[in-house]
Structure 1
Amino acid sequence: MAFFTVAIQSTRSLWRFGQTVLGVIFRHPIPGTSIIPILPDGRIVLIRRRDNGLWGLPGGMVDWGEDIPTSVQRELMEETGLELVNIRRLVGVYSSPDRDPRIHSICVVVEAEVKGTMEVHDTLEVMEIQAFSADALPPGKMSHDHSRQLQDYLQGLTRLA
């Protein structure tokens, strides 16, 4: 069973690497999602990323043939083990070429009602998962532009940036 889990994770990593290479070759932004997962008690779920050690929102690239809601559901489960109950609202679309240090990506950010037990499924990307109240988010820099995304969410904004 462990062999198949590693094989699946390796295949996903290889696919994501391939997507990044194709984006660089064809010089087009890559679509992705960030999710602001809200537990039934109102806390916000964040992940600590393995690549930079910073807290951030779960999310990732939209796979070929996948729509945004399906990508949200898949990334949420892969990175947090949580189940999507409902996408509550669009928080924004973030497209600044420097928002992701790896590639030029366009990120669709949504607020999502979630349920279940927090559990790291993708150990190659995620070191830790934790839920925070809105007034006790981790201090300091967050990964990518996730600080801005969270601030827009907390201020009730819908941003096109």
Structure 2
Amino acid sequence: MARTEYYDDPAAPMPNRLVVAASAVVTDVDGRILLQRRTDNGFYALPGGTMDLGESLPATAVREVREETGLDVEITGLVGTYTDPRHIIAYSDGEVRQQFNVCFTARITGGSLQLSNESTDLRFVAPEDIPGLPLHHTQRLRLTHYLENRAGPYLG
């Protein structure tokens, strides 16, 4: 299913759903950040996805990382909350979401890196190489907040 992301765009469609989601900044021992190139829009992004009923938000992040990358992780912290109503995500099936994402930090505890049907590339990226990658504004914002080593999480 194709996906189009809008940010502060007057041409964006009106949202018809609010979906809770989690993402994770997963780092390796060298401090590089795991990114996936999404099949639905071609951009690089942090692993993450929609919370299921009966699941906690940290458990969502752990599950989504495993499903999308093959890695087992442990949640270690919180980057921030991302609920900006100017970020709209439209899917080809007619669903139009207002963003609601909680972004965690995580460390690898096991598994092996494997592509899923949601990505065409998985790679650990050095922080200095991130500016050259195709990323949506909201993904870049999460990475910037992570790399700022803030005293507290971003609340927005």
TM-score w.r.t. length of structure 2: 0.78
Q: Is the 8 A contact 2:22 2:58 kept in 1?
A: no
- The runs of 4+ residues in structure 1 deviating greater than 3 Å are none
Select 1:91's aligned residue among 50, 55, 79: 79
Assess if the C-alpha contact under 8 Å between 1:52 and 1:143 holds in 2.
Answer: no
Q: Distance in 2 between matches of 1:99 and 1:36?
A: 20
Map of 1:110 onto structure 2: 104
Q: Give distance in 2, aligned partners of 1:90 and 1:117.
A: 24
Match 1:127 to one of 103, 112, 120: 120
Q: For residue 30 of structure 1, report the CA deviation from its aligned partner.
A: 1.1
Q: Is the 8 A contact 2:62 2:75 kept in 1?
A: no
Distance between the aligned counterparts of 1:65 and 1:98, measured in 2?
Answer: 29
Correspondence for 1:67 among 56, 75, 80? 56
Amino acid at match of 2:36: I
Matches within 5 A, 1:10-159: 24=16, 27=17, 29-84=18-73, 86-102=74-90, 103-114=97-108, 115-120=110-115, 122-123=116-117, 125-137=118-130, 139-143=132-136, 145-157=138-150, 158-159=153-154
Shift of 1:54: 0.7
Opposite residue 118 of structure 1, the aligned amino acid is: L
Question: CA 1:77–1:88 in structure 2 vs 1: closer, same or farther (change >3 Å)?
Answer: same
1:107: how far off? Answer: 0.3
Unpaired segments ≥5 residues, structure 2: 2-14, 91-96
SS of residue paired to 2:132: coil
Structure having the larger proportion of residues in helix: 1
What does the per-residue CA deviation read over 1:91-116, in whole Å, with 9 as the maximum and x for residues that have no partner?
Answer: 00000123242211310001100143
**Equivalent residue for 1:9?**
none
Could you say what secondary structure the match of 1:64 adopts? coil
State the distance in 2 between where 1:135 and 1:117 align.
25
Structure 1, residues 51-90: CA drift from partner, whole Å, max 9, x if none? 1111111000101111012111110011011111x21211
Please provide the CA RMSD for this pair.
Answer: 1.9
SS at the partner of 1:137?
Answer: helix
- 1:55–1:138 Cα contact (<8 Å) kept: no
Q: Provide the identity percentage.
A: 32
| Contact 1:141–1:147 (8 Å) recurs in 2 | no
The amino acid across from 1:143 in the alignment is H
